[in-house]
Amino acid sequence: TLTLSLWDDEGSMVTDEMQLGFGDVPSAPAQPEGMAYVDVATVETSDYTTSLVENAEDYTWIIEPSAAGVIIGNENTATVSWNAEFTGVAYISVAGGNSCGTGEVSAVLEVQVVNSIVGLTEPDEPAVSIFPNPASEIIHVNLSSAGSYIPVVRLVNMMGIELFNSGVVNNVSELVIPVSGYSPGVYLLSVNTGDRQLTRKIIIK
């Protein structure tokens, strides 16, 4: 109990009391556990966990670089939504906190992030635009700049099962592929001109 007293020039006094609490900030949690190798071609989110720490009232989760994705924590667990355009090493850590402040940060978990989908690019490859991506209802495949190429458009899931095949597309500037009936996830859309193929990853939500 802290007691404060104040006197004026005439000797009158007023007092007030304040209750003070003292405590330690939490110690560093254990290094996060979870997937240390992520292929964003097939994995959109992954979960991580750490040990509960004494005196911790909340936990702050950190992912670096921030371009790797978004991390959302719920006490001693967290979920990372990966950026499909990021590849490299991501660093995940966590710290406990309470009313006295934030404690020490845990040891860092290094996550190798790769993308196994490689689009083939040739100087004279037909220019094709695919939108929207992610998609929920339909996918537009713009073939207006394919030039003299006569492409075949295919959509397959990550198990390699073909879900759509346009057959030979001739004198068509745009294809519309309905996808509302497909399960959310990652798919592969390819435009094949016989000796060349353009492959793109499509996310259906």
pLDDT tens string, the chain, 205 residues long: the values are: 999 999 998 889 999 999 887 778 888 999 999 988 888 877 888 999 999 998 899 999 999 998 899 999 989 999 999 988 888 899 999 999 988 888 899 999 999 888 766 443 444 445 677 888 888 999 988 876 555 567 788 898 877 788 999 888 777 778 899 999 999 988 888 887 766 667 788 889 8
* pLDDT of 179: 92
Contact 154, 164 (CB under 8 A): yes
Is pTM beyond 0.75? Reply is no
Angle made by CA atoms 25, 31, 32, in degrees to the nearest 5: 105
Distances from the Cα of 185 to the Cα of 26, 37, 40, 111, angstroms: 39, 19, 11, 21
Q: Burial letters for 17-36: b for 16+ Cβ neighbours within 10 Å, e otherwise?
A: eeeeeeeebbebbebbebbe
Using alpha carbons, select from 75, 97, 100 the residue that is nearest to residue 27: 97
* pLDDT of 120: 39
* pLDDT of 146: 53
* pLDDT of 196: 67
Contact 70, 54 (CB under 8 A): no
Query: Hey, what are 147's tokens?
Result: 């030039």
* pLDDT of 108: 94
Say which DSSP state 135 is in.
Answer: B
* pLDDT of 15: 94
